[in-house]
Amino acid sequence: MAAALMVSDVSIATSLRLGAVAELAKAEGPYDEGPISWRNPKPPGVYHLLIIGAGPGGLVAARAAAALGARVALIERHQLGGGCLNYGCIPSKTIIRTSRLYAEMRNAQYFGATPPAAVLVDFAAVMARMRRIRSRIGRADSAARLAAEGIALYFGNARFVGTDTVDVDGVCLRFRKAMIAAGSRPLLPAVPGLVQSGYLTSETVFDLTALPPSLLVMGGGPLGCELAQTFARFGSRTLIAHSEPLFLPQEERDAAQMVSDALARDGVEIHLNTSVVNVRLEAGRKVVELVSDGSVATTIVDEILTGVGRVPAVQGLNLEAAGVDYDDEGGVHVDDFLRTSNPRIFAAGDVCLEHKYTNTAQASARIVVRNALLFGRKRMSALTIPWCTYTDPEIAHVGLYVRQARERNIPVRTITIPMHEVDRAITDGEERGFVKIHVRDGTDRILGATIVARHAGDTINAISLAMVAGIGLRTLANVIHAYPTQGGAIRQAADAFMSTRRSRILSWLVRKWLQR
Ligand SMILES: Cc1cc2nc3c(=O)[nH]c(=O)nc-3n(C[C@H](O)[C@H](O)[C@H](O)COP(=O)(O)OP(=O)(O)OC[C@H]3O[C@@H](n4cnc5c(N)ncnc54)[C@H](O)[C@@H]3O)c2cc1C
């Protein structure tokens, strides 16, 4: 049966999406050969590993297991690549790049260039470029490639019908081990009138082909901050409403404040401590009531983007039949080895983890392959995982925050290098931000780091490497960096650490010498 028929369980919206994808594929090259002409394989018997969801987690696990020679089934009900490729990392980073270009063109004079008389934003072209890039990246995970790698790929909706059996649109697949990598979906805020008035989510905002003249972003987490800045740079009148006193609640306050300042500089209207309490439609526009500190304000916008969080996609999996414990907020319950309450079944990625990032989904999937197929005992808690919010400047973090170290009674010393002391940041006009490295006081052992800088996401990787390899600041002070680079700020931090240590030791020696 052709896959186009097999997705009949999935919502009409999804089918329309596949139709739209087919159109785009015709126009811009193959996006994913799967859903259009795919025929599911015939189940050969019992699979060694059955995986639900072909997002970053599912794809990594399928490839790793197939490379080991395991019989692998991978089931996807929507689009290969999951959230990351289709409506997450890839489309967002692609349009963020163009929005930065627009911001730089407006700022051309600063760099000694004559700005164009007017910077005209061609939003349709921006989105066409995004779709082309998404197609190109998606080809690495096409259905044909996966099949060639020995993965039995099924398009359809997976649901458990027993402790070792999954139904895919009427076909039963049996497994020795299974991994749930069903991902997450946008959380819909309970605001009266929102549904009736219409709204965008991260899953629909990348379908836009015309720039909304005005946009309200609900939520000041990574997604909300990234897209608010992006749309403001494209020229939408952009507002962001966040219920807390500062954006990016998990980040250190000074870092989050820098992101807030950056949004304000880009013209985003910032509403902190603010809740959206009502939306109604008037003459095709959305009239929004905002409450802040007890006072109500009204604003009118063309579009609303909800970015208040993501929830694990546990519905429809029929986890009860498999004896897998879960709850709607935290998702599938797993232990440190990523085992669920059914010893045959593991989970990875957004569906079970608090940190919902692609690198986390992939790293957890690798753990599952080792623990499920190779009797491994790899622990999720042993991983060092950095993350980044791709605003301008970016804000990246790895390891412990100071507050976490204090909660654990770990004495912390912090070394901070402001980017305005980093030569390459000065030459590039990218001086806003800092590199902050936390060490265990009295040692050079790195506990964590936060970087706010134009390229913080790239720079943080050196700190992750040091942490994983057990390299302390003393050794980092001996690492020669190419000059001038923004990553050199890490060496500057290590030098600053060593100079205070040296002077402490030196003054101790001098004291001893004088006391002879
Ligand atoms: C706008 C946005 C920007 C982001 N940017 C970044 C970023 O820059 N960096 C980063 O690290 N992360 C980013 N993320 C997060 C990242 O996209 C996710 O963490 C990542 O995709 C999670 O991977 P996953 O494999 O766990 O799940 P998903 O990517 O969600 O994949 C799950 C797959 O399972 C399928 N599925 C679900 N249920 C079933 C079923 N019953 N049967 C069959 N198939 C099923 C789904 O269709 C989906 O394809 C971003 C997210 C968003 C929304």
186 Cα nearest atom in ligand 1: 53
Give distance in angstroms: CA of 439 to centre of ligand 1. 33
Could you report the per-residue pLDDT of 333-353, keeping only the tens digit for each?
999 999 999 999 999 999 999
Give distance in angstroms: CA of 53 to centre of ligand 1. 9
Could you report the per-residue pLDDT of 57-75, keeping only the tens digit for each?
999 999 999 999 999 999 9
Give distance in angstroms: CA of 462 to centre of ligand 1. 26
- Measured CA to CA, the distance from residue 171 to residue 152 in angstroms comes to 14
Q: Average pLDDT of 156-171?
A: 97
Residues 6+ apart with CB under 8 A from 223: 92, 202, 307
78 Cα nearest atom in ligand 1: 47
**DSSP single-letter state for residue 45:** S
Q: What is the pLDDT of residue 510?
A: 78
Q: What is the pLDDT of residue 14?
A: 32
Is residue 20 pLDDT above 70, yes or no? Answer: no
Give distance in angstroms: CA of 192 to centre of ligand 1. 28
Could you report the per-residue pLDDT of 23-70, keeping only the tens digit for each?
334 333 334 444 567 899 999 899 999 999 999 999 999 999 999 999
User: Which residue's C-alpha comes closest to atom 48 of ligand 1?
Assistant: 82
- Would you place residue 376 in the very low, low, confident or very high pLDDT band (cuts 50, 70, 90)? confident
pTM over 0.85: yes
Q: Average pLDDT of 361-387?
A: 97
Using only C-alpha atoms, the chain has a radius of gyration, in whole angstroms, of 25
221 within ligand 1 shell (Cβ under 6 A): no
Q: Is 320 buried (19+), middle (13-18) or exposed (0-12) by CB count in 10 A?
A: exposed
For helices 89-106 and 222-234, give the axis angle rounded to 10 degrees.
40
Partners of 492 in the beta sheet? Answer: none
Q: Average pLDDT of 330-334?
A: 98
Q: What is the pLDDT of residue 503?
A: 67
